[in-house]
Structure 1
Amino acid sequence: MSATFASATAVVTGMNDVVQKLLSSTSNFGLGDHWILILSALLIITATSIIYSNEFIKSFLVFIYACFLKPFTSRKVDHHNHQKNLEVFYKTQAKFYDTTREVLLKGRENALKLAFSHAKAQNNNGKKLTWVDIGGGTGLNIEKMDREVADLAQHFEAIYLVDLSTSLCEIAQQRIDRNGWKNVFVHCGDACDFELPHKEFDLITFSYSLSMIPLYHSAIDHAEKLLNPDTGIICSVDFGVQSKSTSIGRTNVLGGTVNRHVPWFFRTFWRAWFEFDKVFLDPSRREYLEYKFGTVKSVNCYNVALGSIPYYIWLGVNKQEDAQLMYRFNQLATESPYLAPIDPKKYQSGEITEKDSPVSKALEAAVSNAKKGLPYPSQFYQQQTWRVYYDELSTAYEMFNDEYIYAFTWEDPREDARILNLTSRDTVLAITSAGDNLLAYASLPDPPRRIHGVDLNPAQGHLVELKLASLTALSHEEMWKLFGEGKIENIYELLITKLAPHLSSNALQYWLSKGEKTFHPNGKGLYDTGFSRWALRSARYIFAITGLSSKVDQMCKAKTVSEQKKIWESSIRPVLYSTIIGKIFVGNPVFLWKALGVPANQASMMGNSVLQYIIDTLDPVIGNSLISSDNYFYYLCLKGHYSPYNCPDYLTTQGFAKLSSKTNSPLEGIRLHTDYLNNVLDRLSSKTISVAVIMDHMDWFDPNSEDVNNEIDALYGALCDGGRVLLRTAALKPWYIKNFEKRGFTCKPAGVRNSGTMIDRVNMYASTWVCTKIAKRSTDGRKMSTIELDKF
């Protein structure tokens, strides 16, 4: 009781000090004396009435007093003794520190999970890790690691907690003794110059400590010296108030900009508020981390429980010595497996220049950063090399509004494989879309040695990255829930603990911000997202208002094509093609563009009747392809999900087993480019692509524009002799075929959809073409005559 009374007396006495301070500063606050007295009286009465009855509330009163009221009292700062200043702040609240900070210091568990998963991925030799927690306070972070992330005895050789506050270190030592940890040690010392028995660490963490270290530059410099240069991970979770201006001149070292910009009000208010307690939310601390280390992951969040306090989680590695940097540099900077290896140090020193090697955008950015002493772009420090460098701040991406268009791929890869007969001798370039076709090529018995996916929309790349990471890190059951059903109950936890090491920082930011809404078990699921959701929603709406939903379900369960065709012709077809539905929806060009994403140039190639085009599409499918078991495209459109026996190859048991293999996985050959197709083609080494699959891409071109010729020329340059272009089109013979023929290609239809026939399971296009590169062509772009070719 005496201890409680002493605590109560201290709080009440402190509040009396606040009263006097407020009374002497009423002019500054703009309040009358009577309002200050009333407020003070309420505070004192509240404290004294409940402080004896509830230990939990008592701890919060001490916390509120120390953090929000005591700063207004007279408190001299010793500018020569930071340890003394800390003790003044922490001594009265050390025992209550963990209880009171749980609601304030958000993100610590997630930071530890991210840090540990990446440290283990970096140190994949099975050895135990060494860890130093700088500013570790009471040791709660270490207990959280042991309780929620990883067994300390099993995974760590040695753990050191470093803190300058003797009061907090005492609590930490008590925690160590209570838990019986034999490999955890407390060191009471300065973050800028402490010395420990271990000289290098696999993991270094700052958990809400960097914002309280006055000489943070020295602390970060000291941490850099201690970090294992090859495999070490450094992590900081802390308050932060970044703005758009902090990105200027630091392109692509940031690892994404999702939620990075903190609005002016929050930046100003919280920065001023915390500064009363000598907690500094200025952006320079995080910026210095991003300058000294290569950014592996960067996550920007808000503590909504306490008025949207901004905080971040950041992971980095040594920006020059990281063990996998050379491999990543070669894979990412060249954007092609055919260019000579590059030594980044020689570029930085000027020993070799851009003139000595083919230049990619990644190489240009890396050289520019190196000249300024900046880390390489964030993509260079990722565990996986799937995602090729792209300028995350480019205005070219703004048109997509941070949303992918296609949540699934509409082209039939079975026909691609039949037509192209792909083998490991091939290098394929294809439109990325939702990545299903890329994964289908990778699932072939003898898959291509390299598969390049190209899409200007960054979100399409994020979606494919999620699929690649899931194939690498998840079980087949988890993979099925994510992409078969499109729903899963623990997506955030999966992202933090399993998927993050295999995702780029940009993709991780994207899915942490959108994953819960996209995959929530009670939501509509993955396949009701993206622009393509409007087509699925429209189909369901039409069936609902016409009373056909039950018939559609029956058709999706049909065991034979004849049974399916009977349901279609007797119930669904007469309504779908009726005058009203046909004119308003199915045959309406406006509906076609808005819901299905068909551009005007392509719609003009469909002929005089859009309705007839749709009839020629659907009728043959119903009569020849069983939707319930062999046509996952229409099954998905009608049901909103796949079935285990009717799905893309990568979701099947066999496909998953092949792609998720830990050795020689075909996924290693996939590269995702976020750029215009022409730019990628121009920067790939000449004659390195054997097959280009460009879907219906060229239907979108304006016949009066030179763009189509420019793209054909780019394809010609990147394709090897005899290389092929596979394209689909809404026309029986598209207008641009003659452009191909004039510029060095022979063109043949691989499938033509005459009325009543089906050329693939989708049957959405009128024809499929293969354009083969002739070995030589004239300098003016004309197709060479036989006489001209004989001269070579």
Structure 2
Amino acid sequence: MASIDARMANMFSDISLPYFLTISGSILISFVFVSCLFNDKARSISKFCWACFLKPFLSKDGCGDQQNNLEMFYKTQANVYDSTREILLNGRERALKLAIAHLKKKKDLVWIDIGGGTGSNIEKMDSFFPISENFTAVYLIDLSPSLCEVAKKRCQTNNWKNVHIICSDASDFKINHACADLITFSYSLSMIPTYYSAIDHAASFLDKDAIISCVDFGVQSSDTSIGRINTLGGLVNRHIPWILRNFWKIWFECDRVFLDPSRRDYLEYKFGTVKSLNLYNVTLGFIPYYIWIGVSQTEESENLMHRINALATESPYLAPVDQNKNDIVPKSKAFEAALKNFEKGLPYPSIFYQQEVWRIFFDEINPQYEQFKNQYIYAFTWEDPREDARILNLSSEDTVLAITSAGDNLLSYACLPDPPRRIHGVDLNPCQNHLTELKLAALRSLTQEEVWKMFGMGKIENFEELLITKLSPHLSSNAFQFWLAKGQKTFNIYGNGLYDTGSTRWALRLVKYLFKLTGSSDDVEELCQAKTLKEQRSIWDQKIKPILFNRFIGRLLVGNPIFLWKALGVPVNQASMIGGSILSYIIGTLDPVIDRSLISTDNYFYYLTLMGHYRKDNCPDYVSKKGYKLLSKSENSPLDRIRLHTDTLNDVFARLSKKRLTVAIIMDHMDWFDPKGVDAINEIKSLHNSLTDNGRVLLRSASVFPWYIKKFEQNGFKCEAVGVRTPGKAIDRINMYASTWVCTKISGHRK
């Protein structure tokens, strides 16, 4: 879905607007003519086409009275309205489900459906969220008497005693309740001339923690986002190509339906954006439409106030919960963005209105993000968290910062018996944090079996339904956009699943194809079922090793720089630190692992790479039953201690309160730096400022003695190798790195 915008731009770049109008109109009329001949709904379709496509060109201009104009349009088609609109009005049920998912209050609700027409929305809602059981009152507001008559009959048919049909203008209707929990515009805002007045009037009914929702046609472009990008909740597919913008805008204006961006712009100005989706009706020629969910921008909710009050110090985001109030600390990016919005009279950044506080504000248009091409590199984390916990002896006295990667390690730290008081994940790639957000949301909202299917097997049925109805309230709008676009394909039960995604999937695929070509797939499965280390070693030596470490294959794949970076994620600087043959390094990595732990029951890293999924008795802590029980509890969940930063480590360190971190786990990150550059030194100095006295840095390296260790020692750290790889011995279950180091900040040292 994310690539639709580019495809549309290419498709329509060389077509003139008049030509496109003529061709499209001819195709549509031909389609309608054929439908009328062969379809049982011929009469309904003919009425619909007459009213929508022909009558507007033959009728005189409206008299200026909106109700009269609506009746002229709807009177002849009121009885067939619903049967002819399903294919045109996409996303209505999805918008209703999304709105209900975000409501904190679930019973005795008051709902105002503005421009509700025939009551079809109420019937859709009733199918998954019964009207009689969950609503104190439902008010359908519409200005067309003909449509209201259909709605009244629908109420009688369904015996809805709590539904009230009000034929009134959207700008001044009255109801018997002072406020509402849910207000919806469903393909109605684009037909209301005084939309600003209608939106203001709706806002006057919005209760605390209430939701306002809109699904409608719209033709936004990048120009309409200038100056307020952080309020929009994500830019995926927001820019509509020029030809589509103008064609559909002109086409719909003939029916007095206005697709100009001002209506949505005013919604996003008036309210805080919770979720935002930009979509196309593919069936009818890529008509652009959107789904938007918002709240009062001055909402007094606990979460929003908690965030705003914490901005100046970034607590509880970047500092321990007991931070000294007298400390002078840098202002966070979130604080700066909120202040700018406040000065302009704009809502706070969209991320402030989300239900969860996991995701820290980030600038979506940061040019540094472009290198990742809207995809994550790692679908799972390689580092062994068991070793991290053993080496560091982590406890609730610690404030930990770690590179996010796929989030598995952060969740493992949260599963410890005495987890750290705060766990910060930092990753410059927004998509790595989108993936981690999804794991957090799943643990918060899904059953253990659903979590297992998603992240144990990497596949689940009806992912999109789960995303909208269960996961969405616990995701930021940006992460929600990402997973709506990619999730259904990623978790498709008929596909390869989650662990065949990310840039590193190419390495796993190549190994899989290699075993398939050599007829060794059964041998791999046998290796992954071995019950003893002796049996495992025998299978490895006799059946797997000769194929995997063939010198031709080694030179073609492992020795290839393109393969190393694109498939394995090994940059040039790190590869140069290995020393000697890369093939020998890989052999020295894998061969000792066979004698250290059983792949079948105690090494989920290699089990996953070979089998494409985990086992229930061999998986990361968060996927296990024990981990799920701990993390998913409703009160005092360790999940509440996690924060995700989409930035460089140096940027995060620069905004940290001094001496607030006790542990920084930076994986193999420093191997990537150029030894001749200053980036490593700058980061070491930032680490020194951010760590408490005796604070520790845990790092891994492809080198036995990495060049930057001396830089640490020169800048106030005592460095100790807590694990060094020797021939035939593995330092952990993965054994991917040549050494593991702990660098401890020397108490009282001044640089």
Short-chain TM bin: over 0.9
Which of the numbers 102, 121, 125 marks the counterpart of 1:145? 125
Distance in 1 separating the partners of 2:744 and 2:247: 63
The one-letter code of the counterpart of 2:356 is: Q
Give the drift of 1:585. Answer: 2.5
Specify the alignment match of 2:688 in structure 1.
Answer: 716
Distance in 2 separating the partners of 1:176 and 1:650: 47
Q: What is the SS of the residue equivalent to 2:692? A: strand
Distance in 1 separating the partners of 2:124 and 2:55: 30
**Over residues 559-607 of structure 1, what are the superposed CA-to-partner deviations in whole Å (9 max), with x where a residue is unaligned?**
1110010011112212322332232234445533332111111111111
The one-letter code of the counterpart of 2:59 is: S
Which of the numbers 83, 100, 105 marks the counterpart of 1:99? 83
The one-letter code of the counterpart of 1:86 is: L
Which of the numbers 430, 449, 460 marks the counterpart of 1:458? 430
**Over residues 709-759 of structure 1, what are the superposed CA-to-partner deviations in whole Å (9 max), with x where a residue is unaligned?**
110111111111111000000111111011001101100011111111111
Question: CA 1:704/1:357 → structure 2, altered by over 3 Å: closer, same or farther?
Answer: closer
Specify the alignment match of 2:726 in structure 1.
Answer: 754
Distance in 2 separating the partners of 1:244 and 1:42: 35
* Relative contact order, higher structure (CA 8 A, sep 6+): 2
The one-letter code of the counterpart of 2:427 is: D
Question: CA 1:340/1:426 → structure 2, altered by over 3 Å: closer, same or farther?
Answer: closer
Determine whether 1:537 maps to 2:515: no
Give the drift of 1:547. Answer: 2.7
Specify the alignment match of 1:789 in structure 2.
Answer: none
Give the drift of 1:129. Answer: 1.1
| Structure 2 unaligned regions, length at least 5 | 1-16, 321-326
**Over residues 155-189 of structure 1, what are the superposed CA-to-partner deviations in whole Å (9 max), with x where a residue is unaligned?**
11111000111111111111111111111101111
The one-letter code of the counterpart of 1:599 is: P
**Over residues 387-421 of structure 1, what are the superposed CA-to-partner deviations in whole Å (9 max), with x where a residue is unaligned?**
00001122111110000010000000000010011
Q: What is the SS of the residue equivalent to 2:723? A: strand
Specify the alignment match of 1:168 in structure 2.
Answer: 147
Determine whether 1:446 maps to 2:418: yes
Specify the alignment match of 2:458 in structure 1.
Answer: 486
Give the drift of 1:558. Answer: 0.6
**Over residues 346-394 of structure 1, what are the superposed CA-to-partner deviations in whole Å (9 max), with x where a residue is unaligned?**
xxxxxxxxx9974100000000011111000000000000000001122
**Over residues 119-139 of structure 1, what are the superposed CA-to-partner deviations in whole Å (9 max), with x where a residue is unaligned?**
2x2x3xx64211100000011
Determine whether 1:273 maps to 2:245: no
Distance in 1 separating the partners of 2:468 and 2:539: 47
Superposition pairs for residues 232-631 of structure 1, below 5 Å?
A: 232-324=210-302, 325-330=304-309, 334-337=313-316, 358-631=330-603
**Over residues 431-456 of structure 1, what are the superposed CA-to-partner deviations in whole Å (9 max), with x where a residue is unaligned?**
00000000000000111111000000
Determine whether 1:191 maps to 2:170: yes
**Over residues 484-512 of structure 1, what are the superposed CA-to-partner deviations in whole Å (9 max), with x where a residue is unaligned?**
11111201100110000000000000000
- The answer to whether the Cα contact below 8 Å between 2:411 and 2:622 also exists between their aligned partners in 1 is yes
Specify the alignment match of 2:50 in structure 1.
Answer: 65
Superposition pairs for residues 774-785 of structure 1, below 5 Å?
A: 774-778=746-750, 781=751
Q: What is the SS of the residue equivalent to 2:695? A: strand
Distance in 1 separating the partners of 2:59 and 2:70: 16
- The answer to whether the Cα contact below 8 Å between 2:230 and 2:350 also exists between their aligned partners in 1 is yes
- The answer to whether the Cα contact below 8 Å between 1:538 and 1:595 also exists between their aligned partners in 2 is no
- The answer to whether the Cα contact below 8 Å between 2:319 and 2:656 also exists between their aligned partners in 1 is no
- The answer to whether the Cα contact below 8 Å between 1:253 and 1:375 also exists between their aligned partners in 2 is yes
**Over residues 48-98 of structure 1, what are the superposed CA-to-partner deviations in whole Å (9 max), with x where a residue is unaligned?**
x85xx976221111001100011110323111x111111111110000111
- The answer to whether the Cα contact below 8 Å between 1:744 and 1:776 also exists between their aligned partners in 2 is no
Distance in 2 separating the partners of 1:417 and 1:198: 56
Determine whether 1:642 maps to 2:620: no
Question: CA 1:650/1:333 → structure 2, altered by over 3 Å: closer, same or farther?
Answer: farther
Q: TM-score under structure 2 normalisation?
A: 0.93
Determine whether 1:85 maps to 2:44: no
The one-letter code of the counterpart of 1:60 is: I
Specify the alignment match of 2:200 in structure 1.
Answer: 221
Distance in 1 separating the partners of 2:652 and 2:408: 20
The one-letter code of the counterpart of 1:396 is: Q
Question: CA 1:340/1:648 → structure 2, altered by over 3 Å: closer, same or farther?
Answer: closer
- The answer to whether the Cα contact below 8 Å between 1:589 and 1:610 also exists between their aligned partners in 2 is no
Give the drift of 1:328. Answer: 3.0
- The answer to whether the Cα contact below 8 Å between 1:331 and 1:385 also exists between their aligned partners in 2 is no
Aligned length: 723
Give the drift of 1:154. Answer: 1.8
Give the drift of 1:45. Answer: 9.1
- The answer to whether the Cα contact below 8 Å between 2:319 and 2:661 also exists between their aligned partners in 1 is no
- The answer to whether the Cα contact below 8 Å between 1:338 and 1:688 also exists between their aligned partners in 2 is no
**Over residues 510-532 of structure 1, what are the superposed CA-to-partner deviations in whole Å (9 max), with x where a residue is unaligned?**
00000111111111111111111
Question: CA 1:75/1:605 → structure 2, altered by over 3 Å: closer, same or farther?
Answer: same
- The answer to whether the Cα contact below 8 Å between 1:296 and 1:316 also exists between their aligned partners in 2 is yes
Stretch of structure 1 that moved more, 660-669 or 537-546: 537-546
Stretch of structure 1 that moved more, 688-697 or 570-579: 570-579
Distance in 2 separating the partners of 1:761 and 1:66: 69
Specify the alignment match of 2:158 in structure 1.
Answer: 179
Distance in 1 separating the partners of 2:296 and 2:547: 65
Which of the numbers 37, 41, 51 marks the counterpart of 1:56? 41
Distance in 2 separating the partners of 1:370 and 1:340: 25
Distance in 2 separating the partners of 1:44 and 1:258: 33
Distance in 1 separating the partners of 2:109 and 2:281: 31
- The answer to whether the Cα contact below 8 Å between 1:455 and 1:673 also exists between their aligned partners in 2 is yes
Distance in 1 separating the partners of 2:534 and 2:385: 25
Distance in 1 separating the partners of 2:57 and 2:378: 56
- The answer to whether the Cα contact below 8 Å between 1:588 and 1:611 also exists between their aligned partners in 2 is no
Stretch of structure 1 that moved more, 593-602 or 756-765: 593-602
Which of the numbers 89, 92, 96 marks the counterpart of 1:108? 92
Question: CA 1:239/1:447 → structure 2, altered by over 3 Å: closer, same or farther?
Answer: same
**Over residues 283-312 of structure 1, what are the superposed CA-to-partner deviations in whole Å (9 max), with x where a residue is unaligned?**
110000000000000011111111111100
The one-letter code of the counterpart of 2:224 is: T
Distance in 2 separating the partners of 1:43 and 1:407: 45
| % same residue | 63
The one-letter code of the counterpart of 2:587 is: I
Question: CA 1:338/1:285 → structure 2, altered by over 3 Å: closer, same or farther?
Answer: closer
Stretch of structure 1 that moved more, 701-710 or 536-545: 536-545
Determine whether 1:765 maps to 2:749: no
Superposition pairs for residues 649-664 of structure 1, below 5 Å?
A: 649-664=621-636
Question: CA 1:313/1:331 → structure 2, altered by over 3 Å: closer, same or farther?
Answer: farther
Q: What is the SS of the residue equivalent to 1:195? A: coil
Give the drift of 1:685. Answer: 1.2
- The answer to whether the Cα contact below 8 Å between 1:117 and 1:498 also exists between their aligned partners in 2 is yes
- The answer to whether the Cα contact below 8 Å between 2:503 and 2:566 also exists between their aligned partners in 1 is no
Question: CA 1:114/1:761 → structure 2, altered by over 3 Å: closer, same or farther?
Answer: same
